[in-house]
Each structure stands twice: as C-alpha cells, then as structure tokens.
Amino acid sequence: MAVTTPLLAGLLKKATIDDHDEILKASAAALKKSKTDIQAQHSRTIALLKLDRYDEALEFIEESGQPLKDRATLEYAYALYKTGNFDLAAETAVKTSGRGAQHLEAQAQYRLENSARVLQIYQDIKSQGLLDEELDCKINNGGAEAQSQWCGETSTRRPAADDLQQFETAYNAACGSIARGEYAQAEILLKRANELCKHHEELSEEQKEEELLPIKVQWLYVLQVQGKFNEADALANDISTDAIPDVATRAIAQSNKLLTSLKPANPFLVHKAFNTPLKPEKNDRLFSFQATPFASNQKTVDLGALKFNGLTSAGKGKDSTSIRPDMVLSSTFSAAARAENEVSKAAIRKVLPELERTPNNVGLVLTLVQMYVLTGNTTSAVELMQSLFSRLETSTNENEKNVRYNPGLVSVLIGLFRSQGRKASIQQELAKSASFWKTKSTAPASLLRAAGSTLLVTGDPEDARVAADIFSKLREQQPDDKAAIAGFVASHAADEAESVDGDAAKLTAVAALTRNIDVDVLESAGIPQSSNALAIAQLTRSRKRAADGESSKPKRTRKSRLPKDYDASKTADPERWLPMKDRSYYRAPKGRKKGKKAGGDTQGGAVNESLNIDAKPGSNAPQGGGGGGGGGKKKKGKR
C-alpha cells in the first residue's frame, strides 16, 4: 500500500466542511504519484460526494476496483443511492455495519417501495435506545407506514395523539388517511401540520416555506377529491410550483393546479402546460402509486387535445390480459380514442372490432362495459363481463385464472348484478371467488369479507359452513380486525356458541350500540320505506282522480265517432274489416280491368283451394269429351 502524501495527511487532520475542494486537489496530486493509494482514493470519493458530484464519485469507485469498494462500502452505497440505483444500494448497505448503513438501506428500500423491510429496519434502530435518533425514526417510520397503505398493504393503525405533536408526523398520518380514503380526517391532519410548521421555532422563514409546499400540494388534492373546488382554487393560487425543489412533487403540484381551475380551460393550452418538460434527478422519480394517476391525467389531457392517433398506437402491442395499471390504462384510453370521446351506440360499434382481435383485453372490456352502462344497456355489460370470465376460467394459464378472480373485476360484475337486483347471482359469484382465494396465501381480505357477509344471510347450512371457513382465515390474518371477529362469531354462534365467547367479548356491546336509540319513537314512526317505494307511491297519488266536490273538473264528453247513417237496428257488415277489393260483394268499375280475384292483391288473404297451384304446367288440361280444337282457348268478351 502506498503512503499518503504529507499534504493530504495534513489537510485531513484539519479538514472542515469547506475544505472539500482542497482535499480533492490534494488527493488528485497524490493519485498522480500512486494510483493505488487507498487513502487518497477514499479521500477523493468523500470529497466528490460532499460536492454533490455523485456520478463522478460512482465512476471513480468503479474504476478504482474492489479494494476501494471494500474500504468505502458506505460511500459506495450512498453514491449508488444518489444516482438512482436503489437495488444495488440496498444490497451494498447490508454488507457494512453501523446506524448510517441501516438508515441508508432504509432509504433505498423506501424508494423501492419495500415498506415491510423499512419498518423492520426502523424497529431495529428503535430497539437500540438512541434518544437522539428517536424523533427521526418516528417520522421515517410514519412515512413507511403511509407508503405501505398506498401500496395496498392492510394496516389497522389509526392516527394517535403523538402524531399531532410534530408537523412531519401529522403530515405522514394524513398521507395514511388519504391512502385509506379517509379524506375528511386527512384534511384535519393537514391543517394541523400546516399550523405546526408555520409556528415552528427552529425553522427559518425560507425553511418553513419549503416545508409547507408539499403539505399544501397534498391538501390541494384532498380538497379536490371532496369537491371543495372554491377552497381548492384559493389554495392553488397560494402554491408556487417553481419554488418546489423536489421535481416529482413539482410535477404533481402542476398537475393538480391544472385540474383545479374553475373556469373552462382551452384543452390545447392545458396540454401544452401539462407537457412542459421537467428534468428530474435520477433518484427523484414518482412512486408507482403516484405514477399511475399521473399517467392517467396525462392521457386524459391527450384525449382533450384530440390526440387520438397517438393514444390508439400506444395501446397496441400490450399484454392484453394483464391487470397492471399501466397496461389497463393504455387499453382503456386506446378504446376511448377509437370512440373519439363519444359515448353512444355508434361509438360502441367503433370499438367492438378491436374486441374481436383481443377478446381478453381487460382494459378494453372495462371501457366497453362503462359505455354500455352509460347508454342504458346494462344487460350487454353483464354479458360482456361474463363472457370474459368464461374465457379466463377455461384458460390453462395460472395468471389468467388469477385475473378472472381479481377483486376489482369481481366487484365490477357484482355492481352490475346489484343494479339489476340479482341477489342470487351476487351470492353465487362471491362464493365462487371465495372458494378460489381462501386456499391462497395472498387472498384479498376485502373480497373474503364481502363473500363471508353475503353467505351468512342466505340461511343455507352449506353457505354458513363456507362463511365460517372464510372468517376463520380472516381472523388468522387480522386478529385485531373487528369485522373479521364479528363475522367469525356470527358464523360459529349457531353450533359453537361457547367457543366464541372470548371473541364476542372483544366486540362493542349491544347495549352500547343501542344506547341512544328510542324504541318508542321508532315504533310510532312506522316502517320506513325505500326511496323507490316512496317515488312510486307519490306517482300513484298524482295519477288518482280528484275527489267529487267543487274543485273537481266536469268530465269531458267525447264526440261521437259513429257514421252519420248508423242504424242500431241493422246488422253490421261482417266484412267491414277487409279491404274493399277483398269483400265478396265488390264489383270492379266498368270499363277497367278487374285485375286479380279476391285475395290476389293482399298478402295473407284467403286462398282459392280449387286452384291446383302445385301441378306442373300442362297437367290441368280438361278431361272427358268436349268441343273441337278451339275449346281450350279463352273466349273474348263483347266490347
């Protein structure tokens, strides 16, 4: 190993945060004398990282070889992370020890959306009892929990009092509420985060503005979803997208601001503004749960700007049976482009040829189902979904069978059945889906919960047994979920009541649920009617005649429509319903051809059975004796 130059050694002893350029020059001079000087290589790597020259640092480490990678493992992992190579960064960080490596791995796993691993890492750091890192771990742990819910992982955690003490924790709790669809609660938490950040004593005004921007962007989205467009418009005017340093957040803010405008916007100007090029860093890109709605907004803007050809071509060559969000979006917007933004029977006819070419295209089928529903043809929508399911059921591909029982697609068919009032079909479909998923480790809890609840109320002992199996599995997966516990108790109460007493005690008591209910008021109010029944009753009352009295209108006498020469004593003509030419007493006017006989001019009229219409030509010659050769000629009448 080469000896480090005295100049570099001296600089390293008295190095401060502002000496990185000097250290870089000294290390370069040392490396000119000896390229294998490991101390100079390490110093150069750190200096490049301190100067935010991450690409150069990574390139230098790669060129220096394995000895530098072994010595500067943490720096190598950090350079990989900052250049967007999250997989290799996480793998490299595991090879070294120390809390810095743990934090770096957690950040890399967070970017990879591996929230379960992130939560495990922060739990390990927390168990070390480091008080100076407790708040940071709590904040990062909250972000990982919110991400896990964004990615669809089940979590029963709800915001606690501790989450309201810091603006970072309140913001993370709000993100978790948004992921669960609890937008009212998210708005409250974002308001709390906004106030805490404004009055933070340790932050400068510039730092406060920087921290407030992502809070406002998320708040803007929550207001839009709740339909509070006036408040959203006012908040959008307070957001300066150019001041957002994070490019991904800036892109989301710009998208949300374009959707907030209360005035009708020119779709071509919106398209131009939406496609303003941004230059994100390699480690600054959208998460998958952000990229999907962002791509949907992009394609929606393209539709508004009449970019039909581009959207149609983008949908070609995709895996039609895939249920990946990007694949479904491409197929959906491709179908919308073929329909040219129209929803009509003519538009459906434009899309159907594509369905013949790719019958298992999930996005295309869903688009056609929506078009059928919007045009009032729910029956065709149901038939289309059932035909897709039939093809996927008979497939030998295991992935296609998983697509068949995808909870989202099943819920579409259930919704169509519900609109038609087909309760038996709903129970049958849910039972079939539950029997498919209950043996798999990745069974969707929402589908199993819906299937179990539906089967419980059928009254069939076999359905009750299946429901008991479903809720037993749910109880194992989510032991603290009250819905799973309630279903488990209800499904076992008839046969094994004693065995579920402990689970029943975990549920809210019936007395507590009915505490504020006045039975006498309910009884006096009578049985409530559905909105449909009330509407029908109202319509029936409006059609009833007014009661006899002064306000009743006199009955109008209809004018007689009998003929002027009508005589009740005479028998009506029995042939009055036939056309005049078909009546037996009809005689053609003189001087004109009589034409065909009765029945010849009317399709479906009486047929003269004496005419042998099946005989061959010439076979109806008269038999027996007769006149001479002219007997077969038709006699001319006198004129």
Q: What's the chain's length in residues?
A: 639
At 74, the pLDDT band (50, 70, 90 cuts) reads very high
pTM attached to this predicted model: 0.68
Specify the pLDDT at position 1. 44
- At residue 550, does pLDDT exceed 90? no
For residue 462, give both structure tokens: 């076999």
Sequential DSSP letters for 471-515: HHHHHHH-TT-HHHHHHHHHHHTTT-TGGGHHHHHTSPPHHHHTT
- Report the amino acid identity of residue 62: E
pLDDT tens by residue, 425-482: 998 898 888 888 877 777 788 888 888 888 887 777 777 888 888 888 787 777 777 7
Gap between the Cα atoms of 190 and 195, Å rounded: 9
At 379, the pLDDT band (50, 70, 90 cuts) reads very high
CATH number of 163-265: 1.25.40
Sorted by where each begins, the domain ranges of the chain are 163-265, 437-509
- At residue 17, does pLDDT exceed 70? no
Sequential DSSP letters for 375-434: TT-HHHHHHHHHHHHHHHHT-S-HHHHHHHT-HHHHHHHHHHHHHTT-HHHHHHHHHHHH
Once rounded to an integer, what is the mean pLDDT over residues 516-522?
Answer: 84
> Are the C-beta atoms of 295 and 306 separated by less than 8 Å?
no
Gap between the Cα atoms of 405 and 434, Å rounded: 9
pLDDT tens by residue, 331-357: 889 899 999 888 999 999 999 998 888
At 109, the pLDDT band (50, 70, 90 cuts) reads very high
Phi and psi based region of residue 263 (left: phi greater than 0; alpha: psi -120 to 50; beta: remaining) = beta
Gap between the Cα atoms of 592 and 596, Å rounded: 12
For residue 230, give both structure tokens: 């006036």
At 38, the pLDDT band (50, 70, 90 cuts) reads confident
pLDDT tens by residue, 138-165: 888 888 888 888 887 765 567 778 788 8
Alpha helix locations (H) across 15-71?
20-33, 38-50, 54-64, 66-71
At 193, the pLDDT band (50, 70, 90 cuts) reads very high
- Angle, CA 215 vertex, CA 214 and CA 218 arms, to 5°: 85
- Residue 599 per-residue DSSP state: T
pLDDT tens by residue, 556-594: 767 667 777 778 888 888 888 899 988 888 888 886 555
- Listed in sequence order, the residues at least 6 apart from 77 whose beta carbon sits closer than 8 Å to its beta carbon are 89, 92, 93, 96, 101, 104, 105, 108
Report the mean per-residue pLDDT for the chain: 80
Gap between the Cα atoms of 119 and 211, Å rounded: 24
At 624, the pLDDT band (50, 70, 90 cuts) reads very low
For residue 81, give both structure tokens: 């992370």
Q: Which residue has the higher pLDDT, 301 or 18?
A: 301
Give the number of other CB atoms < 10 A from CB of residue 174: 28
At 174, the pLDDT band (50, 70, 90 cuts) reads very high
Gap between the Cα atoms of 143 and 214, Å rounded: 14
